[in-house]
Amino acid sequence: MATQYDLIVVGGGTSGLEAAKTAAQNGLRVALLERKTDPSKIQRSCAQMFLMNMDSFYNERMYFSTEQKKWVFPVNNFTVNYSGDYREFYALHFVAPNAEDRIEIGDYEANSSGRGTPAVVFDKGALLGGLYEEGKQAGVEYFLERNVVDVRTSASGVEIKTHEGDTFYGTFCIAADGVNSRLARKLGLNKDRVFINTGRANSYYITGVNFDRSEMIALGLAFAPPPLGTVMFSMLPAVYREDEYWLYIVGEERLKFLTQESAFKKWFNNVEITHQRCAVVSNWGPAKEPYVDRVLFVGDSCWFAEAENTGALLSGHKAAMSVSKALHTGQINREGVLDYIEWWQKNWAETHDYKEFVCYPIFNRLFTEDEQNYLHNIVTEKLPWTMNPFLMYRGLVRGLTPHMERIKEERPVIAQKVAMFKPEAAARLMKPASRMGFPGY
């Protein structure tokens, strides 16, 4: 007979490893099922920025303590050990197609000279490897190379089946199987969600980058002749080598255009791709609640696009604590984990609107090359430092607002386009099976 676990965690990414470790440390019998051979080997695209203390994300104020080698979540009262490498970066710049004009978020000079707060990129493999080891020490039973294909729930618990032929039983289950969650689909969680699109993310680690103020995240645009059209990219320093940068751009044709033909070619010199990662991302609106019949959903599985690693850690941790409490008090039902459900609804769904997230790439596409250059040129003041993807579009609008009278006078067509564009319109404009992706991926 298959073993009964207190908790089965499906997925050994950031949220799953944190959930399993926390539950095992609380004394629960935990199985974690992961289809990969080694959870710390990262194949999926991730810019590896740690979204930290420049603003409130999920109503948390997380920061990285380099002294203690910990990610600190002071509002939710826990820490996560991280002893991997990190690399600072200092601002986010929206860069015009002319590769000159920029709308600047954050003060590069202050942040790079120790007068401000830099951000960091981290090594996700080191984070996951560390969580895995801590989980092992706490007694998590790992079942690797297990592809979960079915989940059934009943009054007595959750039954999980794998492609490899195993069956696992859990009193509770945490679904941490990522943005294309099979558990969400199987349990009907997606029925009430808005489907936005499926996008592919290609990211390249490259050398041969050389330009002034390169230690920032650049969100840029170039205009290529058909069939490529608008080429969006994002680029930021990589953690693995000092001369390496992470470049998100859809496909090598665009990479070649950007680095060899566009106005940005002056940023690049003998580009070499050191390695590549990719991801397929199904973007759904957030779930109504992150729970179905004793299965708690965490991380990307129930959210829009990306919970980010910080959100994955937060939700994995909170869900594991909630399950621990439910088991301890004998409330083996929705009421028992209501604190997690309510926390998620308040700090995720009610705090961040996914429509704001999709605005930026769509807003980008409303303007011609010349209009883009004009808009990037007009905002000269530095905008408040944030990397919260839900605030990106609002930040842009905030930057443009003081200049709207001038824009109306000089370029009325641009002013009309800016005024007509609203977050509600953005979600409708996303095409299913889109290849355009978002600027961050």
Ligand X SMILES: Cc1cc2nc3c(=O)[nH]c(=O)nc-3n(C[C@H](O)[C@H](O)[C@H](O)COP(=O)(O)OP(=O)(O)OC[C@H]3O[C@@H](n4cnc5c(N)ncnc54)[C@H](O)[C@@H]3O)c2cc1C
How near is the Cβ of 168 to ligand X at its closest, in Å? 11
- Asked whether position 286 contacts ligand X by CB under 6 A, the answer is no
How near is the Cβ of 96 to ligand X at its closest, in Å? 23
How near is the Cβ of 84 to ligand X at its closest, in Å? 14
Structure tokens at 55: 């603003």
Among 6, 107, 134, 177, binds ligand X (CB under 6 A): 177
- Asked whether position 12 contacts ligand X by CB under 6 A, the answer is yes
| Residue range at the interface with ligand X (CB under 6 A); choices 54-62, 146-154, 164-172, 358-366 | 146-154
Nearest CB to ligand X, comparing residues 160 and 407: 160
Q: Site size for ligand X, by CB under 6 A?
A: 41
Q: From residue 291 to residue 330, what is the string marking binding to ligand X with x (rule CB under 6 A)?
A: --------xxx----xxxxx-x------------------
Nearest CB to ligand X, comparing residues 120 and 379: 120
How near is the Cβ of 238 to ligand X at its closest, in Å? 11
Q: How far apart are the first and last CA of the chain?
A: 44
Q: Is 397 exposed, middle or buried (0-12, 13-18, 19+ CB in 10 A)?
A: middle
| DSSP per-residue codes, 326-348 | HHHHT--STGGGHHHHHHHIIII
Characterize 286-298 residue by residue with b for buried, 16 or more Cβ atoms within 10 angstroms of its Cβ, and e for exposed.
bbebbbbbbbbbb
Nearest CB to ligand X, comparing residues 51 and 222: 51
Radius of gyration from C-alpha coordinates of the chain: 22
Q: Are 29 and 7 in contact (CB under 8 A)?
A: yes
Q: From residue 228 to residue 267, what is the string marking binding to ligand X with x (rule CB under 6 A)?
A: --------------------x-------------------
CA-nearest of 56, 83, 21 to 317 is 21
- Asked whether position 80 contacts ligand X by CB under 6 A, the answer is no
Among 29, 182, 294, 318, binds ligand X (CB under 6 A): 182
- Asked whether position 441 contacts ligand X by CB under 6 A, the answer is yes
Binding to ligand X (CB under 6 A) within 30-69 occurs at: 33-36, 39, 45-49, 51
Whole-number Å distance between alpha carbons of 408 and 419? 10
Distance of alpha carbon 317 from the chain centroid: 17
CA-nearest of 186, 193, 192, 141 to 168 is 141
Nearest CB to ligand X, comparing residues 238 and 414: 238
Half-sphere exposure of 256 (CA within 13 A, CB side): 4
Whole-number Å distance between alpha carbons of 20 and 193? 27
Structure tokens at 143: 């079942």
Relative to beta strand 70-73, strand 78-81 is: antiparallel
Structure tokens at 109: 């000079």
Q: Which residues bind ligand X (CB under 6 A)?
A: 10-16, 33-36, 39, 45-49, 51, 146-148, 176-178, 182, 201, 203, 248, 279, 281, 299-301, 306-310, 312, 440-441
